[in-house]
Structure 1
Amino acid sequence: MGPLNFCFFCFKTKEERLLLKNKFFENRKIPGTCTRQGWQRHPFLRYEKKIQRTARPTGRRPNQSYYDESLLYDKNGNIAELWRNGDSDVTPSIQIDHLKYFYEDQSNRLAKVTDETNDPSGFLDDSDGTDDTDDDYQYDSFGNMTKDENKQIKGITYNHLNLPVKIPIKQGTQNWTISYLYNALGQKIQKTVANVTQVGQTERTLYLDGFQYVDDVLQFFPHPEGYVR
């Protein structure tokens, strides 16, 4: 290569401050400062651009703990308790969750979650604040979850690849089933949601190489810039 024996094409951006987004504060965007950008392919062939943004953070005002969340862990690193405040216009903010996590004996596998606040805008506990001694979660011999009482899900079945094929779920007075179909590689190609209570109410979703159909109507397909709807 002779005198050109160096990085033939180099590109570098120097970023001194990142964009910060935080929903906890009213000044939610703090613009950064990009001080230099350039490329070089030869000592005499060089491009450089310097940018100086004048915007600077001038202060912040917290939203009165509206979205605060606190966690307590056990000795194994598992979550033991969780406290969460909700999005509320009142002051002070409202605690929507006080969750307690229980695990199987001599195991890190979750067995039960209870909520002492019983606020419907937070975690939905199947016990509704009453004494709950039964486990919320059950598993098969492979460790797959088969029951979630808090979401009214019971009897999940799996295929030989440990992928869920049928999920029965209850919403109010309606019983539903969610069924999945996979190809030989374990890739999901179809989902069917059926109302068991009202026979005939179904919705079928097809996943075909990025093209997604709902009841045979194209919903979107992939594009280099995202999706086309």
Structure 2
Amino acid sequence: YAYNVRSWTKSITGTLFSQTLNYQEAITGNTPCYNGNISSMSWKSGVETSQRGYRFTYDGLSRLKDALYGEGATLAANTDRFNEQVTGYDKMGNILGLKRYGQTAAGSYGMIDHLTLTYNGNQLQAVKDIATSSVYGNGTEFKDNSNQTVEYAYDKNGNLIKDLNKNISNIGYNCLNLPSQITLAGSNSIDYEYGADGTKLRTVHKTGAATLTTDYCGNAVYENGVLRMLLNEAGYVSFPDRKFHFYLKDHQGNVRVVADKDGMWRRRMRIIRLGGRLLLQPVFSLTSITVKSWIRGMG
């Protein structure tokens, strides 16, 4: 790890993951920032031979406007493939519009999201997407599954209880204000059980006639009663193969590479700046009370 005179992270260097952050440095194509904003970021992971990265621009209130993608030492190659652009903010700082770009076909790239967001105060009410292309393969672009004036509903505590775009008809909460059940279209549901201190103990996914029950017992994760993982601060041990997996993280603590005990990379996580992250494996964390994972849901 390397830091500048203000103790800001400048770079992370490793054999399987490296990252460089620029602030006031005048790198080709970026706008130097002297207030702590990151002007550009590049990384290389796994067996990649070329760097990938983003150049960032901000408005007068230091709110992100553009994340401009590029490859190579100066981020001048294959530009604009995965750009993110915020087209406006309201007076309370909420995003009003967002454009996202990605792969739309074999060898082709273009706009995958062109979102307009509306609010009631600070609560999101609806999202409209006028983009006509979807992500190539198994994409994570926004799915505009509703055309209602109000697509999101909340309870008196401000908790989200309905999301029509994700086909979520109801989210119930327990006395600790934690989600206890998510009901989706097609008789699909996700149920959660917790301890008295809020620690998640069980998750039950129901999809039609299939049920997957995941139990969390300390650092052990069971699926339908069979041990699948032992979690630790460095990663996890998978079962039944009993293999060690180690997390390599970026400056924000996001897992970017999963390596085995021999130092060989097994999975890469490509983080898209403002949403839509492409994960090749659910990532578990012990940094909070509950075990967290990214789930490609049913809606």
Provide the TM-score with structure 1 as the length reference: 0.69
Cα deviation code 1:94-137 (max 9, x no counterpart) = 11110000001xx111111110114343210013xxxx343110
2:103 matched to 1:94? Answer: no
Equivalent residue letter for 1:108: N
Q: In the alignment, does 2:143 pair up with 1:134?
A: no
Distance 2:232 2:102 in 1: 37
CA-based RMSD: 2.6
The equivalent position to 1:125 in structure 2, one of 133, 137, 144, is: 144
Residues 25-174 of structure 1 aligned to structure 2 (within 5 Å): 27-28=50-51, 59-71=74-86, 72-88=88-104, 89-90=106-107, 93-104=109-120, 107-121=121-135, 122-127=141-146, 132-170=147-185, 174=186
Q: Which residue, 210, 219, 222 being the options, matches 2:219?
A: 210
Structure 2 unaligned residues grouped into runs of 5+: 5-9, 12-18, 21-41, 54-71, 136-140, 239-299
Distance 1:142 1:156 in 2: 13
Q: Counterpart of 2:192?
A: 180
For 2:145 and 2:73, the matched residues in 1 are separated by 46
Aligned to 1:228: 237
Q: In structure 2, what is the Cα distance between the partners aligned to 1:133 and 1:29?
A: 39
Q: Is the contact between residue 26 and residue 62 of structure 1 (CA under 8 Å) also seen in structure 2?
A: no
Q: What's 2:65 paired with?
A: none
AA matched with 1:101: L
Highest Rg: 1 or 2?
A: 1
The secondary structure found in structure 2 opposite 1:150 is helix
Higher relative contact order (CA 8 A, sep 6+): 2
Residue 163 of structure 2 aligns to which amino acid in structure 1? Answer: D
8 A contact 1:118–1:124 mirrored in 2: no
Note the alpha carbon deviations across 1:133-163, whole angstroms, 9 max, x for none. 4311000111110000000001111111111
| Distance in structure 2 (CA, Å) of the matches to 1:206 and 1:221 | 12
Q: Judging changes above 3 Å, is the alpha-carbon distance between structure 1 residues 225 and 69 closer, same or farther for their aligned structure 2 residues?
A: closer
Could you tell me which runs of 5 or more consecutive residues in structure 1 were left unpaired when the two chains were aligned.
1-12, 31-56
The one-letter code of the counterpart of 2:179 is P
Letter in 2 for 1:27: S
Counterpart residue number, 2:204: 192
CA 1:166–1:27 in structure 2 vs 1: closer, same or farther (change >3 Å)? same
How far the C-alpha of 1:27 sits from its partner, in A, is: 3.0
CA distance in 1, matches of 2:131, 2:223: 39
AA partner of residue 112 (structure 1) = A
> What's the % identity of the aligned pairs?
32
Contact 2:219 2:232 in 1 (8 A): no
Q: Residue 87 of structure 1 aligns to a residue in which SS?
A: strand
Structure 1 residue 223: Cα displacement: 3.8
**Distance of 1:206 and 1:185 partners within structure 2:** 16
CA distance in structure 2 between the aligned counterparts of 1:182 and 1:208, rounded to whole angstroms: 11
Whole-angstrom CA distance in 2 between matches of 1:139 and 1:165 = 15
Distance 1:14 1:94 in 2: 36
Secondary structure in 1 matching 2:183: strand
Deviation at 1:214, TM superposition (A): 0.3
Amino acid corresponding to residue 152 of structure 2 in structure 1? Y
Residues 155-204 of structure 1 deviation map (CA, whole Å, 9 limit, x = unaligned): 1111111111111112xxx4211000111111110011123x43xx2110
- How many Å apart are 1:209 and its aligned residue? 0.5
Check conservation: 1:100, 1:115, Cα contact below 8 A. yes
